[in-house]
Chains A and B, each alone.
Chain A
Amino acid sequence: MTKKVVDFIILFFCVVIAVLLYRSTAGFPSVSQNSTANYIRFLALSTGILSLLQIYYSYRKNDNDAVEFYTNKKRFFSLLLLLIVYILLIAYFGFILSTALFLPVTMFFMGHRKIKTIIFASAGLLLFLQGLFVSILQVPLPRGMIFGY
């Protein structure tokens, strides 16, 4: 997809949001009609006008270069997928167990092949986290629905 096309999609989305926001203020309670509703109208109008202006500029500009969201497709999507799975796992198995799985698997998928380094780095990070966050700072870490940690 070219930069111009992605830009148009973003701007079209902004215009739609601006219109919907402006219309939504009619449903605000009367007490905030003169205050918050006006603020949101101001934001909606400004966003709408700026988006239309940018659509005009983007239309005139020959920005037909392809947008490169990643340079290494395999690793990029692996990371995205691993992050999604990681967050899902945290909700069920808690932080420590999920992280113990996430760290080595991600290191492997990101191209590291030295198993010893992977094991030591993962264990070191987990120990640091447990020591500093849990033991010293007593920062609460996410608990899972199935396991406590």
Chain B
Amino acid sequence: MEINFLQIILTLVMPENLLAVVIGSIAGIVVGGIPGLTATMAVALLIPVTFSLSPLTGLILMGGVYCGAMYGGSIPAILLFTPGTPAAAATALDGYPLSQQGHGGLALKVSVIASFIGGTFSALLLLLVAQPLAAVSLRFGPAEYFLLALMGLAGVVSLAEEDLVKGLLSGFMGLLVAVIGTDLISGHLHYTMGVRDLYDGVSFMPALIGMFSITQMMELTGLDHIVKGKVDLKTIKREKMPKGLGKFIAAGTAAGTVVGILPGEGATIAAFISYNFAKQMSKFRDKFGKGNPEGIAAAEAGNNGCVGGSLIPTLTLGIPGNSVAAALLGGLMIHGLIPGPELFTLHGTITYGFILSLFLANIVFLVIGLFFAPYFSKISLTPSAILIPAVSMFAVVGAYSMNNSIFDIWIMLIFALIGLILGKTGYSTSAVVLGMILGPIAEHGFAQALTISDGSASIFFGSTIAWILWGVIALLLVFPIINIIKKARTGKAIIEAEEIVE
């Protein structure tokens, strides 16, 4: 069946569809910008709303929310060190220090442009190569998923390059927390201490909110404002995009799209992997974590690149790339649209109309981001005394709303204290969170692979993809280790030289 793109474009530019793109994108930015309200939640909440709409308009609305939320999460991450979505946690690492230096506007500008490029490229890829790429993700078995999780952990090393062992240990702390709960292989309860709320494990979202948002609010108790002085809107508007960000945006986009295609992998992992790649590529590695725009560019391109990528297996195989895509899949199926070849032929107008609407959604958030970013940055001038209770309130709602559990609010507070102690002693809280996210993927991959192979570890070396993943893991580990050895030698040489001088 031939697809008439002219007809699809004409359908897309109908007023109700354009309105759906704009409303969806703005709603996505708002939802993404509020810590704890995730894109998944917003898309899921929209499903009943779409009943009264045509399938295409409903999907466009959900797609707009998805794109907008991925970008929106970066706004509080940059201005308040409070990631609006988990995927924006990597953005906060360099975005917030830039805000503290009075360059919040610049950070927001980098974020929106990188998000736009990442999102647009991944939508283009979705449009062009959805079906062939989906076949690759089908070849991923449990062993490959375990290796993918290891790859994420290897990335932790470059997150904490200055203290390699502490960085790895932080990642393992996250993995250890993630083993709490029910074992999917045996149904056996692990380390739940009889607490019912722990049967499904420790939810990473309250832990993330605690370690990022509440810890930051505790730090703010010693400051009157995030930024001292005034925010000059004219200066912010004039701040030019730093040069040389192209390769970091490209790396983030590529990594985000590829990670997004893999079922079960989320935008958070995509953002962290992209951030790590950027750190490896950068000439200014020392500035990472201290306000390097390269980190923001890669992380944002990565998490927005995930949008198109995650929809590839969703639309072609019915396997959602992540939880937002899963919610979107629910919306598709409610309208009688079953993923598979027919979606691209029989329902081609709807499917391609939806994919094309993602480009429009990216344009909408780009315009909003560029024009309103300077005004967003004024948030950093709000007195801490007002900001602390306000952010704490949203954090409480965010922690509670994932599972409707007051227990999760306590988890948030406990992890805030843990995050404070770990952060002050040189451990990486980002690595802990990443460990918690990767934990279930690693555990299930490892356990299932060994069950399939009857306990033989050879399964982890049994495919080309596995070998490629081992290669990437080695690459991720080798460079930081070489750097550390170099630094140690230089340090030793300096000490020896000082001794000779003395």
Contact = CB atoms under 8 A, between A and B. Distances in A.
A147 interface: no
Interface string B367-400: 0000000000000000111101110110011001
B483 interface: no
A19 interface: no
Contact of A133 (B176, B397, B426): B397
A85 B473 CA distance: 46
Given A68-B424, A107-B389, A31 B409 contact: no
A141 B386 CA distance: 22
A32 B447 CA distance: 8
A86 B166 CA distance: 34
Query: For this complex, into which size category does the number of interface residues on chain B fall?
Result: 35 or more
B168 interface: yes
A71 B217 contact: no
A40 B442 CA distance: 11
A110 B186 contact: no
B154 to A, nearest CB: 13
Contacts of A91: 406
Nearest to B46: A137
A43 B392 CA distance: 34
B406 A90 contact: yes
Interface string B391-431: 01100110011001010011001000000111011110000
Contacts of B422: 10
Contacts, number: 177
A34 B400 contact: no
Contacts of A138: 45
Most central of B385, B389, B401, B446 by chain A CB within 10 Å: B389
A87 B414 CA distance: 12
Contact of A112 (B217, B385, B450): B385
Interface in A107-149: 107, 110-112, 117, 121, 125, 129, 132-133, 137-142
A46 B446 contact: no
Interface size class of A (residues with CB under 8 A): 35 or more
Given A6-B425, A10-B427, A133-B397, A70 B221 contact: yes
B179 A125 contact: no
A21 B180 CA distance: 11
B388 A3 contact: no
B188 A34 contact: no
Contacts of A117: 386
Nearest to A105: B389
Given A67-B425, A137-B42, A14 B386 contact: no
Given A3-B424, A95-B400, 16 more contacts: A10-B422, A28-B188, A32-B447, A36-B443, A38-B446, A40-B179, A69-B421, A79-B217, A86-B396, A103-B389, A111-B384, A111-B385, A133-B397, A137-B37, A137-B42, A141-B401
Interface of A: 3, 6-7, 10, 14, 17, 21, 24, 28-29, 31-32, 34-36, 38-40, 42-43, 46-47, 50-51, 53-54, 57, 67-72, 75-76, 78-80, 83-84, 86-87, 90-91, 95, 99, 102-103, 106-107, 110-112, 117, 121, 125, 129, 132-133, 137-142
